Structure 1
């Protein structure tokens, strides 16, 4: 699943006349770059949630014959946030017991999906989040076995723990996660909601919500115009070869 429904507020003025999924980096849209990563990993069935300039995304996919993939659209009349958007798309996943990948459209990375899936299977994960040791305003906290145990955010930097841990590691979420379909059976939240509070609730109930260490991989937030410019330069210089 590609999460692409957001308003792209941080990307203005680039999103004044288009959805963030169609903002270009080095001549390629964010959506094309994400789909190319999926294809390279052998993923050929994709659902994309849309809202802001949704018709433009649908027309773009038609014009490119869905990039040779089976793509469905989950249109949201009202923005449902990451958790609500995922729950709305549940029917797309419930015919299989295989884990699936969820990816923000506004991140670029070389994170190895195969290794992440192996990690998810080996740890019998309900949810596995790609995380890195880098600065962020909102940290997730993990124990020595890579289980989610809390978060740290805000100006005070106070920690909120949902399961006991002596020395938690504060890591940044990358916007890339692998989920088991069982997630829908434990998803109590309704309407518009974020996945992060849901993950914290589940971790507090001792569900296996894990952090996949991804420090060795290239990762770039594409949520601001200056980040787009930086990523374009990195692509031109061969730093990113996706």
Structure 2
């Protein structure tokens, strides 16, 4: 099975760290985000990676070429000369992925230990991994107008969000735009047709690395949840 990593974004919110490298190469706990992703994929026997790149693609390609043998992976690159969106970028690699087997897609800024074996595309075209929403704010609980307790940034178990990890069937290629995001152009159509599943994961680690605070917090968390 191939793992496709969407690594073409500019990472503007993490500047100046992304001035000289793409976001997946930002280090967290001493390793680039992309290495944490590779380590977790390999736990499920996945060692073939396709990197969909754009911004600073040459820096990413250099890192992969230097570490490909150490990590025991095979790597392919698809380079966007201009932004195509996640849907357009995926459509470009149809020939590499083939028309027989499902494949996994993940955003290049996501670190997680969710169990990929619990995702499938039986009777669907794609499955989205869903994780509970962690409130960015503390919650204040009240009763009869009085404050009873404070909950610091709780996980809201009843509200699930898109984890940025997808299992896809090759059938998806018939629905991908030449330019545009799969999340906006394709997933709503699949949902309307009853061809989009959601796999819920509640007791997992998941974080999108978007800010300096995310880097700081994930640096203390990742070594405990993803074995090196």
| TM-score, length basis structure 1 | 0.78
CA distance in 2, matches of 1:175, 1:59: 25
CA distance in 2, matches of 1:23, 1:115: 29
Find the counterpart in structure 1 of residue 172 from structure 2. Answer: 183
| Correspondence 1:188-227 to 2 at 5 A | 189-191=177-179, 193-197=180-184, 198-204=186-192, 206-227=193-214
SS of structure 1 residue aligned to 2:8: coil
Find the counterpart in structure 2 of residue 159 from structure 1. Answer: none
Find the counterpart in structure 1 of residue 27 from structure 2. Answer: 24
For residue 175 of structure 1, report the CA deviation from its aligned partner.
0.5
Native 8 Å contact 2:68 2:75 kept in 1: no
Q: Which has the larger radius of gyration?
A: 2
List, as ranges, runs of 4+ consecutive aligned residues in structure 1 with deviation greater than 6 Å. Answer: none
Find the counterpart in structure 1 of residue 83 from structure 2. Answer: 79
Native 8 Å contact 1:14 1:225 kept in 2: no
Cα RMSD between the aligned structures? 1.8
Higher strand share: 2
Find the counterpart in structure 2 of residue 92 from structure 1. Answer: 96
CA distance in 2, matches of 1:36, 1:129: 21
CA distance in 2, matches of 1:19, 1:241: 22
CA distance in 1, matches of 2:40, 2:200: 19
Do structure 1's residue 127 and structure 2's residue 126 form an aligned pair? Answer: yes
Native 8 Å contact 1:130 1:212 kept in 2: yes
For residue 10 of structure 1, report the CA deviation from its aligned partner.
1.8
**1:163-195 Cα deviation digits (max 9, x unpaired):** xxxxxx7521001000000111233x222x111
For residue 214 of structure 1, report the CA deviation from its aligned partner.
1.0
**1:13-72 Cα deviation digits (max 9, x unpaired):** 211111111110011001111111121111121100111111111111111135221110
Find the counterpart in structure 2 of residue 147 from structure 1. Answer: none
| TM-score, length basis structure 2 | 0.82
Native 8 Å contact 1:107 1:223 kept in 2: no
Native 8 Å contact 1:116 1:212 kept in 2: yes
SS of structure 1 residue aligned to 2:114: coil
For residue 133 of structure 1, report the CA deviation from its aligned partner.
2.5
For residue 135 of structure 1, report the CA deviation from its aligned partner.
4.7
SS of structure 2 residue aligned to 1:133: strand
Find the counterpart in structure 2 of residue 56 from structure 1. Answer: 59
Task: Extract unaligned runs of 5+ from structure 2.
Answer: 137-157
For residue 84 of structure 1, report the CA deviation from its aligned partner.
1.2
For residue 4 of structure 1, report the CA deviation from its aligned partner.
0.5
How many residue pairs get aligned? The number is: 201
SS of structure 2 residue aligned to 1:64: helix
